[in-house]
Structure 1
């Protein structure tokens, strides 16, 4: 009996200690904010904003927790299931579906302040909407652009595109061929992970790939509009010889040494790669940002913005959203965007002069913001399996020339719909 009472006393002391740790006993709230910032400028901006919040909000303390993009999905899943999820969660919209549908994230519709709701466009809110709920606040985004060797373009005499007068996909293919020869290539396509790049760029040509029927079920189609971008890449590699087949298995960073070395005239990359180029390019290397080619739908392309969410199990949802609102005030959103070399989603932040400079071609990227839309697949149940087991190997084989367009269509549609059907019963 004495042992039982000792155990009860110890458990009571532990519970009291836990209560003190979370700040409940003294009236103070402690929020854990897990950030995925990794670049030095971005980490500094996030930590500075946390310090500024803590200095002006003595009753709501925020603890900065460093996460990693490489392991965030599995780490969050483990923390959700273990009841240890951070209160405020930094992620990307294309990673939220499982957590949103699984009940791990709070629906923010009734919690968001009107200022924040109205500042971020509806097209951006769509990226974090699953079913009837909003499960994240989209705040940073980046278009896919062409990073070009400016000297090479000037010497060739080709027309240099602008956001107002971009290249068409056919014009892009012709110019890539014109820029090639003598062991040099007009373009390097880093397509180690080919699916999101292909689907997002295909929005410019009217490609959709995923279609929701009247019954709410999603099926895959591969129509003429969906073929334009894949055919362009395939033909540049296998017909024109204007794109290097060696880069198809590379990530974006892997192509930079060859780009700096004069092997490729252009590389399609995310807008934030400019930071690596500024840091790594040889002295005197002249580069510039060009818009991605335009199709029937202009410069439209899909994006999966970075997001801030609140854990459903957090007892401090109201305070968590207040902290998010502070982080995403226009002036703070600009600081976060500059730190990550990306674009803010907020309309007020996008007007900031710092994002419209010629230096590092900020103005070119900002001019593309209006065409950014929700990535086609991010709300599709079963998309991760379709991407990994069906689409990735199919696109890789097509781009390398191992299969033709009809076999690609067969795999994406027939095999793909078998996968999606299992998630929609």
Structure 2
């Protein structure tokens, strides 16, 4: 009898244990957030916000996963196909098209709160809209600007451009001639990856390059507005000798030692490069941010904002969307922008006084925000192949003087349209 009683008690305890789960993580949702933040301040801001979310939401825990811009496309493709993609994905808008059309990303149209939808302007949402769906939240962006040696410009007597009165492309070319001589150059173009820089700046001259027909198909036409920016660079390097030919294959950071040393008066760089300049410039070096030149399109410039998306395979899309809403509240978007030295897309965040200060020329950047437009190739299927196989080598040869403008046009149009046609059958 006693033995049966003991066995009964043991069985009851086992059943009770099976019927309830007292583990600390029982019922908890865990979201994997892959961030591409890499600058120390940016990584810190992201991790701090994740920690704040976790402290306030014990039932929905976010796990921070560090990714890399250098390998993100291939890494995401592998994780999507293997069913192991992170729930929340940090990327750039010009990398989303194939993932969106391939069904790997969730349509956020009905997942995002009205506050966030209304705070980000329509032109920014265009960068993550593919077909009838929205596949990412654009949250950080940066214009390409001219970082200039302020002392050298002042001593030369050239007119200093402002967002209200920028240089024209012709004036910019003339200024770089004036600033050149004695082994020094007016400008250094870091064009290791020439395509996005050329196409995005060409919007200011009225260039578009990609044209979508009534049937929805895209063709490439290299027209008058598309010629101005590349021909300016080509002549600065080959005719005027006002741009160094040795930097054409360089990345932006590679030009900074020559810039600090007085070899180059200006370098066209992304707005976020200011952080490197603040950290690396010699003591007493006087620099300033100038707007990129303007043309028929004014200060218009193409951008591919940083984005946050949700994987289609995520079983916790509503929770992931709630985290995005938290991460991109205006005050948090400001923190992310300051950490990355970039501009937020949200209008309330952009109005924050911290981003309107003259310190480090934040105000110059925010003055350009209204002129930023979706990059011309934003939604073009086949763009990565066209860029790698056709456009990059063609622009590199043109800028180095190996081919002329007619050959550039032929390569971009004829070879390029053959590539795009395969994606539009």
**Distance of 1:35 and 1:415 partners within structure 2:** 36
Alignment of 1:382-397 (within 5 A): 382-397=382-397
- Which residue number corresponds to residue 92 of structure 1? 92
Does 1:180 pair with 2:207? no
Deviation at 1:407?
Answer: 0.3
**Distance of 1:218 and 1:20 partners within structure 2:** 58
Does 1:234 pair with 2:238? no
Q: When the two structures are superposed, what TM-score results if normalisation uses the length of structure 1?
A: 0.94
User: Could you say which structure has the larger radius of gyration?
Assistant: 2
Deviation at 1:22?
Answer: 12
Alignment of 1:213-224 (within 5 A): 213-224=213-224
Deviation at 1:378?
Answer: 2.0
**Distance of 2:334 and 2:69 partners within structure 1:** 21
**Distance of 2:239 and 2:23 partners within structure 1:** 65
CA distances 1:267-300 after superposition (whole Å, capped 9, x unpaired): 0000000000001111110000000000111100
**Distance of 2:102 and 2:381 partners within structure 1:** 12
Alpha carbons 1:191, 1:247 under 8 Å: kept: yes
**Distance of 2:198 and 2:112 partners within structure 1:** 33
Alpha carbons 1:180, 1:186 under 8 Å: kept: yes
**Distance of 1:393 and 1:70 partners within structure 2:** 20
Alignment of 1:96-107 (within 5 A): 96-107=96-107
Q: When the two structures are superposed, what TM-score results if normalisation uses the length of structure 2?
A: 0.94
Distance verdict in 2 for CA 1:22–1:173, change over 3 Å: farther
**Distance of 1:257 and 1:238 partners within structure 2:** 23
Alignment of 1:120-269 (within 5 A): 120-269=120-269
- Which residue number corresponds to residue 48 of structure 2? 48
Deviation at 1:21?
Answer: 11
Deviation at 1:27?
Answer: 2.1
**Distance of 1:340 and 1:226 partners within structure 2:** 31
Gaps of 5+ in 2: 1-17
2:55 partner SS: helix
- Which residue number corresponds to residue 284 of structure 2? 284
Deviation at 1:98?
Answer: 1.2
Deviation at 1:168?
Answer: 0.4
Deviation at 1:131?
Answer: 1.1
CA RMSD of aligned residues (A): 1.4
Alpha carbons 1:22, 1:29 under 8 Å: kept: no
Deviation at 1:31?
Answer: 0.6
Alignment of 1:316-335 (within 5 A): 316-335=316-335
Deviation at 1:132?
Answer: 1.1
Deviation at 1:59?
Answer: 1.1
**Distance of 1:231 and 1:21 partners within structure 2:** 66
- Which residue number corresponds to residue 10 of structure 1? none
- Which residue number corresponds to residue 112 of structure 2? 112
Alpha carbons 1:22, 1:30 under 8 Å: kept: no
- Which residue number corresponds to residue 356 of structure 2? 356
**Distance of 1:199 and 1:217 partners within structure 2:** 19
**Distance of 2:143 and 2:178 partners within structure 1:** 25
Question: For this pair of structures, how many residues does the alignment match?
Answer: 406
**Distance of 1:132 and 1:237 partners within structure 2:** 44
**Distance of 2:130 and 2:187 partners within structure 1:** 37
**Distance of 2:216 and 2:363 partners within structure 1:** 40
Deviation at 1:85?
Answer: 0.7
- Which residue number corresponds to residue 299 of structure 1? 299
Deviation at 1:374?
Answer: 0.4
Deviation at 1:363?
Answer: 0.4
- Which residue number corresponds to residue 336 of structure 2? 336
- Which residue number corresponds to residue 38 of structure 1? 38
CA distances 1:197-225 after superposition (whole Å, capped 9, x unpaired): 00000001110000001111100000000
Does 1:371 pair with 2:362? no
Distance verdict in 2 for CA 1:151–1:311, change over 3 Å: same
